[in-house]
Amino acid sequence: MEVESKHLWEVEHPYYCSGTNYYVSSDRADETVFTYKSWPEFLTEMADADLDMNLLFRWDWQEGEKHGVKPFNGDIYYRNGRLKLFYMAQRKGFHTCAMVDVCRADEPSVIGYLKPRLTHLLSLWAPLIPQQLGTE
């Protein structure tokens, strides 16, 4: 399986994921959507979160006016991006969303956060993954 090398902000997933939970009324959205003003602020709360109780199933790094955020101005420390992290609360049976204001300089740390969660997610699909990748 060939992996295309792109920056996280260059990835456009083929379908969107709602940040809100369909089964939670809008007056209780603050119980499932969490906002953070920076990547370090997010990590303070979630860096060591349990991988099963906070099963990360998707991420979207958004930049630009089409996503309602400012365009990149050339400064990698300018916080113009929004990283959406979508989690399944498996015991409770609903998903949550973390919306984090990020800058391009955060990308290496974000990748460091995402990789073990990808490994964990793939482990839930064993033994199918080796067959799908052709590495039986």
pTM, entire model: 0.86
112 in a structural domain: yes
- The boundaries of the domain holding residue 43 are 8-133
- Our separate counts of H helices and E strands in the chain read 3, 4
Of 118, 113, 85, 115, nearest in space to 100 by CA: 85
pLDDT value of position 87: 96
126 in a structural domain: yes
2 in a structural domain: no
If one counts the domains in the chain, the total is: 1
pLDDT value of position 91: 87
pLDDT value of position 4: 63
86 in a structural domain: yes
Q: What percent of the chain has pLDDT over 90?
A: 60
1 in a structural domain: no
Ranges of residues in the chain whose predicted pLDDT is under 50: 1, 136
pLDDT value of position 1: 44
34 in a structural domain: yes
